[in-house]
Amino acid sequence: MSADPTRFVNRELSWLDFDERVLALAEDPSTPALERAKFLAIFSGNLDEFYQVRVAGLYDQIASGVADQSPDGLTPAQQLDLVTRQVNVLTSRAARIFERQVKPSLAAAGLEFATWDQLDEGERAELTDVFNRRIFPLLTPLAVDPAHPFPEISNLSLNLAVLVNSPDDPTRRFARLKLPPSLPRYLVTTRRRRLVALEHLVAAQLGRLFIGFDIGECAVFRVTRNADLDLEEGEAEDLLEAVEVEVRRRRFGTPVRLEVPDTMSEEVVDLLERELDLEPGLVQRSAAPVDLGGLWSLYTLDVADLKFPTLAQSDTRGFQSATNSASSVFATLRRGDVLVQHPYDNFSSSVEEFIRQASVDRRVRAIKITLYRTTGDGVIVSSLIRAAEAGIQVVALVELQARFDETNNIAWARDLEHAGVHVVYGVVGLKTHTKIAIISRSEGGEVRSYCHIGTGNYHPRTARTYEDIGLFTSDPAVAADVHHLFNFLTGYSRGVEYQRLIVAPDHMRTEIAALIANERPEPVGTTPRGEGHIVMKLNNLVDPRLIDDLYAAAGDGVRIDLIVRGICCLRPQVPGLSETVTVRSIVGRYLEHSRIYRFAHGGPRGGVLVAVGSADLMPRNLDRRVEALVKITNDALIGRLDGIVEALHRDNVRAWTLEDRTWHKVPTPDAPPEAGDLDADVATWTGEGPGPHPDRPFEAHIELHRATVPTRPGSPL
């Protein structure tokens, strides 16, 4: 393959392309009003992570004198320049969406943003009472003068910059006031349901905090810092302690962005730049409120008409009762594999019930699970504690370096240890990202194992908003593989030959490369086997070597259909390079998080191979993380996965396509669904109908996304 760097899309710009697709949902007038506010908050949160990790990394490279080029041929300085320009475009667009679309749409629904001056006397009295009872005791103004140095500003904290002076002295003095992070960003008045930003209420009460002084300028600001963990190899002697140290350091890492309103004076901006020791070009001015992520507080309002309709989730049959052995999880899995897709299939009645039943089953001897992200007050952690207290051997591999969840993971990992759970922290130098659990149960004089392998975290809240897939199985081959993988994670085990798992970093890279190559035309003289076809649904496609493998396959005429939610560094539809490659992205109500890999000739005897699991095609996933894909062998389950992929390729409401380097929104048909057409779509979905009407919108992010039987012949596309 040519070494021409133009065959790749820049990773950082592709990340911003994804955030732009999220922003488009906030801009879409068909999105309910509070959902539009939510997508603005998601856009803002994504940008926070981008600056804390990716932009911070570029600054680190520049400061260290690194001149290495990215795969697409750009230096760190060139990338930073392009990123800064694109971010400025996106943040300006977000501000316009907030001011011209989201605010008016919420006001039309009875939720009006208001400043203190716009409130009536009753509303001011109500909020003053809230200030006195809930806010005033939490505020600590910090003066800056020769006796009081400029305070440390913690990462992503919301602060007020205040200029004051005494009546008999015109000298202006600066003070910093941190807004309590425990309080909601927006307060709602009772009678007229007006939305008042926390900073507006506090600013109106500053006279209570600076008694005897005149209040001059008051403006909110926010600092973003380098927040990526930087653990040296030698620090791994005590990983728990090392992560705790790095989490504390993160709060005051090197600043990479200062957000201020466009009304802040140059005097205050200059002071903040000087005191924070900012590099040039790190100030972002905005016409919208600083930190649109604060709009998340509005989403807690109970206004059903302003949100997407509640999804009717399905319970997993046979997973609901542990009192009747004939209907238990274990009896169900002895009859065959079960595939679930969240949030369409209820997480509580499937994954949580799997662990819960194991914790109270007298025949269960051991439970092993990897925990990348979860919640300490949920069913899974409480079930593991109950099991350990009941004498079941419980092993929990806790990934301490799950980005931005480190503090939570440390806390509940200690709770598990105190309850007698064997807690381990993974393999030195590798982050454990795979999502696996195995339960060993005594049955008829032998031990039988039951497994769950998923694409998402063991987290009940994200399971309601992330689309993920999980396989439950009692297949002995899968169980043997999972046992081997846990032995690698908790002890010393190398060079395992897995049967049904594809594991990183052991051999996932080489096996996927081999599967891609296997789809290319067979040598002359061999038996024809049909057209090669590769389908991949994943979050990110970044790895240059595997992208080159895909280009090589495309050059041989292999059809390649990719569904990439986020970053895609491959350029599709380029003459002479990738003419047979299509790339689309679905960005909608649920975060498409599952990974599905399908190879037309990768299975036994040249048949189809379908695998699901935790891994994206990124260097970090393939080389620096423990990941696992599981090969699906049940034809009905393969049919269901094919149906999921087919639905995503039929979506003409939330879909985008990538052509060369540019993303395009798939046009939505003008014709609305007609009465009675839903039944026709259901028939189509189950393989009994002729297909959706071409002039009617079809969105994969609806309940029809949940397939129950194999789709019609020729699936997935």
* Residue at token pair 């709770």: 415
* Tokens matching residue 604: 């036994």
Which 3-state string (H, E, C) describes 257-310? EEEEECCCCHHHHHHHHHHHCCCCCCEEEECCCCCHHHHHHHHHCCCHHHCCCC
Residue 330 C-alpha from the chain's centroid: 31
* Residue at token pair 């048909």: 669
d(CA 428, CA 239): 9
Residue 695 DSSP class: T
Residue 108 C-alpha from the chain's centroid: 31
| Burial classification of residue 239, based on how many CB atoms lie within 10 Å of its CB (0-12 exposed, 13-18 middle, 19 or more buried) | middle
d(CA 641, CA 626): 24
Which DSSP string corresponds to 518-561?
Answer: HTSPPPTTSPP----EEEEEES-B--HHHHHHHHHHHHTT-EEE
- DSSP E strand boundaries for 280-392: 283-286, 338-342, 364-371
Rounded (to 5) percent helix, strand, coil in the chain: 40, 20, 40
Query: Do 193 and 262 touch, CB atoms closer than 8 A?
Result: no
Residue 51 DSSP class: I
d(CA 381, CA 374): 8
d(CA 223, CA 301): 28
CA-based radius of gyration for the chain? 27
Residues 6+ apart with CB under 8 A from 78: none
Which DSSP string corresponds to 435-498?
Answer: EEEEEEEEETTEEEEEEEEESS-S-TTGGGTEEEEEEEE--HHHHHHHHHHHHHHHS-------
Largest CA-CA distance found in the chain, in angstroms, rounded: 98
Question: Is 433 annotated as catalytic?
Answer: yes
CB hemisphere CA count around 270 (13 angstroms)? 3
Which DSSP string corresponds to 580-592?
Answer: TEEEEEE-SSSEE
Apex 379 CA angle, 375 and 384, nearest 5? 90
148, 200, 342, 433: which one is catalytic?
433
β-sheet bridge partners, residue 283? 258
Query: Do 258 and 278 touch, CB atoms closer than 8 A?
Result: yes
Strand-pair category, 112-113 with 194-197: parallel
d(CA 47, CA 286): 14
* Tokens matching residue 292: 């649109």
Residue 319 DSSP class: -
Count the residues in the chain: 717
One-letter amino acid for residue 42 of the chain = I
d(CA 651, CA 565): 14
Q: Which residues are catalytic?
A: 433
